[in-house]
C-alpha cells in the first residue's frame, strides 16, 4: 500500500487561515499536526508493509480522530488534543507506553491490555462508543503506540509519563479566581463559552468536550496538564495556584456525564458487550 504525502497532510491544511492566526499567538502550536520523525520517514517511503501502514493509519487516527475513527468518536476531540505532538511530548500524556501493558487498572478492575486502554479513551475522552477489541481502528492505534515505544524496556517506567504532579499550594482551588484566569489566559482560544475554535482549538467544556468519566476530569490531572502545557508553547506561564483555580473552574462547567452513571450509557455498553462477547 502506498501512502502519499498529500493525503497525509490533507488534515493539516484545513483551517489554515485560522491556524496562521494562532501561530502568531503561540509559536509552539505549529507542530501539533506535523508527524513525529519516525512517521515522516515512513510517509516518505514508496512502499509500506502491513505493519507500517497500520502504524501510519494509527497516527492518522491520533491526529484526526473524528475523520479516521468517526464511528467510535462521540465528539470532535482528537487524541492529539490531550496527547500532545502525536503522543511524543513528555509531560503531555506521551503514548510511548506500550511496554507497560498489560496492566492492572482499578477503574475497571481488570488486567488491561493496550487495546483495552485505547478503547476506554474512546468511551470517556472522546465521549463515544467502546470499539470492539478487534476493530481495525484499535489495532492501528496500538501499532502506532508500539512504534512510538520502540527501544523502551518492557515494564520500565516511561520518563515524562502522564503529566507532571502539581504540588499543593496550601490554598484550596478557587473556581471564582479560576474564572478570571480563564477569561484572560484561555478564552482567546478556547472561547468565552468553552466551545473552542472550529478546526484549531478543542472545547474545554460543553457537549463537545470530554465527559466526566475521563481522566482529564480529575482535578490533579487537569491542573497538572494545564500548568505544564497551557497556554501552548509557553509552558508554566500560570502559577501553580492559577492552574489549580482554572482547573476547578473548568470542572464546574457543564459537560457530558460519566457514561458509567448515565442509564443510556450503561445500556449502550451492555449492547456492545452482548454484540462482542469476551471483549
Ligand atoms: C480529553 C483528553 C484526552 C483525549 C482526547 C484522549 N485521551 Fe488518552 N488519556 C487521557 C488522560 C488524561 C490519560 C491518563 C488517564 C489516567 O491516568 O487515568 C490518558 C491515557 C491514555 C493511554 C494510557 C497512557 C499511559 O500512560 O498508560 C492511552 C494508550 C491513551 N490515552 C490513548 C488515547 C487514544 C488512542 C485517544 C484517541 C482515540 C485518546 N487517548 C484520547 C486523556 C485523553
Ligand atoms: C493559543 C491558544 C490557546 C490558549 C491561549 C490556551 N489553549 Fe488550551 N489548547 C489549545 C490547543 C490548540 C489545544 C490542543 C492541543 C494542542 O494542539 O496543543 C489545547 C488543549 C487544551 C486542553 C486539553 C484538551 C481539551 O480541550 O480539553 C485543555 C484542558 C486546555 N487546553 C486548557 C487550557 C487552559 C485552562 C488555558 C488557559 C490557561 C488554555 N488552554 C489556553 C490552545 C490554547
**CATH number reported for the structural domain that contains residue 36 in this entry:** 1.10.760.10
pLDDT digits (tens, 9 = 90+) for 159-203: 999 999 999 999 999 999 999 999 999 999 999 999 999 889 999
Grid coordinates representing 117?
Answer: 486502554
State if residue 203 touches ligand 2 by the CB under 6 angstroms criterion.
yes
Ligand number nearest CA of 21 is 2
Q: What burial letters (b/e) apply to 256-273, b meaning 16+ CB within 10 Å?
A: beebeeeeebeebeeebe
Distance CA 191, CA 275 (A): 40
Ligand 2 midpoint to CA 122 (Å):
20
Which pLDDT belongs to residue 168? 95
Contacts of 18 (CB under 8 A, 6+ apart): 197, 198, 199, 200
Residue whose C-alpha cell reads 507506553 in the numeric block: 97
Quick check: is 129 in a domain?
yes
The atom number, within ligand 1, closest to the CA of 210 reads: 1
C-alpha cell, 202: 478543542
Question: What grid cell was written down for 205?
Answer: 467544556
Alpha carbon 134 to chain centroid distance? Answer: 21
- Kindly give the number of the ligand 1 atom that is closest to the alpha carbon of 69: 38
Quote the domain boundaries for residue 16.
Answer: 5-148
Closest atom of ligand 1 to CA, residue 225 = 12
Is residue 276 one of the residues assigned to a domain? no
pLDDT for the residue 111 = 84
Ligand 2 proximity of 29 Cβ (cutoff 6 Å): yes
Do the beta carbons of residue 222 and residue 216 sit within 8 Å?
Answer: yes
d(C-alpha 97, C-alpha 89), whole Å? 12
Rounded-to-integer distance, Cα 25 and Cα 16, Å: 14
Task: Tell me the ligand closest to 245's alpha carbon.
Answer: 2
The pLDDT score that the predictor gives to residue 243 is 98
Residue 238 in domain: no
Q: What pTM was estimated for this model as a whole?
A: 0.86
Å from CA of 163 to ligand 1 middle: 11
Q: Is residue 14 part of a domain?
A: yes
CB 91 within 8 A of CB 100: no
- Total domains in the chain come to 1
Ligand 2 center from residue 18 Cα (angstroms)? 15
Instruction: Let me know if residue 112 belongs to a domain.
Output: yes
CA dihedral sign of residues 230, 231, 237, 241: negative
Compute the distance from residue 231 Cα to the ligand 2 centre, in Å: 6
In a domain, 153, yes or no: no
pLDDT (0 to 100) of residue 33: 60
Q: Report d(CA 237, CA 243) in Å as an integer.
A: 9
**Is 104 strand, coil or helix?**
strand
Q: Residue 150: how many CB atoms within 10 A of its CB?
A: 10
Q: Which residues of the chain have pLDDT under 70?
A: 1-33, 234-236, 265-266, 269, 277-279
For residue 154, give every residue at least 6 positions away whose Cβ sits within 8 Å of its Cβ, in sequence order, or none.
99
Residue 259 belongs to some domain of the structure: no
Residue nearest to atom 6 of ligand 1 (CA): 79
Give the Å distance between the CA of 83 and the centre of ligand 1.
7
Amino acid at each position: 500500500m502506498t501512502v502519499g504525502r498529500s493525503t497525509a497532510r490533507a488534515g493539516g491544511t484545513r483551517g489554515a487561515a485560522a491556524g496562521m492566526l494562532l501561530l502568531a499567538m503561540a509559536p509552539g502550536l505549529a507542530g501539533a499536526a506535523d508527524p513525529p520523525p519516525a512517521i515522516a520517514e515512513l510517509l516518505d517511503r514508496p512502499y509500506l508493509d502491513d505493519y507500517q501502514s497500520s502504524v501510519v493509519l494509527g497516527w492518522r487516527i491520533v491526529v484526526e480522530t473524528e475523520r479516521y475513527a468517526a464511528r467510535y468518536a462521540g465528539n470532535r476531540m482528537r487524541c492529539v488534543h490531550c496527547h500532545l505532538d502525536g503522543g511524543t511530548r513528555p509531560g503531555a500524556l506521551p503514548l510511548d507506553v506500550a511496554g507497560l501493558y498489560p496492566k492492572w487498572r482499578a477503574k475497571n478492575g481488570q488486567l488491561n491490555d493496550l487495546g483495552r486502554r485505547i478503547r476506554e479513551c474512546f468511551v470517556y475522552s472522546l465521549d463515544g462508543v467502546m470499539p470492539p477489541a478487534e476493530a481495525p481502528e484499535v489495532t492501528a492505534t496500538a501499532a502506532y503506540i508500539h512504534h512510538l515505544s520502540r527501544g523502551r524496556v518492557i515494564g520500565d517506567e516511561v520518563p515524562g509519563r502522564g503529566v507532571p504532579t502539581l504540588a499543593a499550594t496550601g490554598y484550596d482551588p478557587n473556581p471564582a479566581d479560576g474564572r478570571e484566569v480563564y477569561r484572560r489566559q484561555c478564552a482567546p482560544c478556547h472561547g468565552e463559552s468553552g466551545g473552542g475554535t472550529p478546526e484549531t482549538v478543542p472545547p474545554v467544556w460543553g457537549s463537545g468536550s470530554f465527559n466526566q468519566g475521563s481522566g482529564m476530569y480529575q482535578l490533579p490531572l487537569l491542573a497538572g496538564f494545564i500548568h505544564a502545557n497551557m497556554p501552548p508553547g509557553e509552558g508554566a506561564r500560570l502559577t501553580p495556584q492559577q492552574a489549580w483555580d482554572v482547573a476547578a473552574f473548568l470542572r464546574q462547567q457543564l459537560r457530558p456525564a460519566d457514561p458509567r452513571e448515565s442509564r443510556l450509557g450503561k445500556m449502550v455498553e451492555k449492547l456492545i458487550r452482548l454484540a462482542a462477547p469476551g471483549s
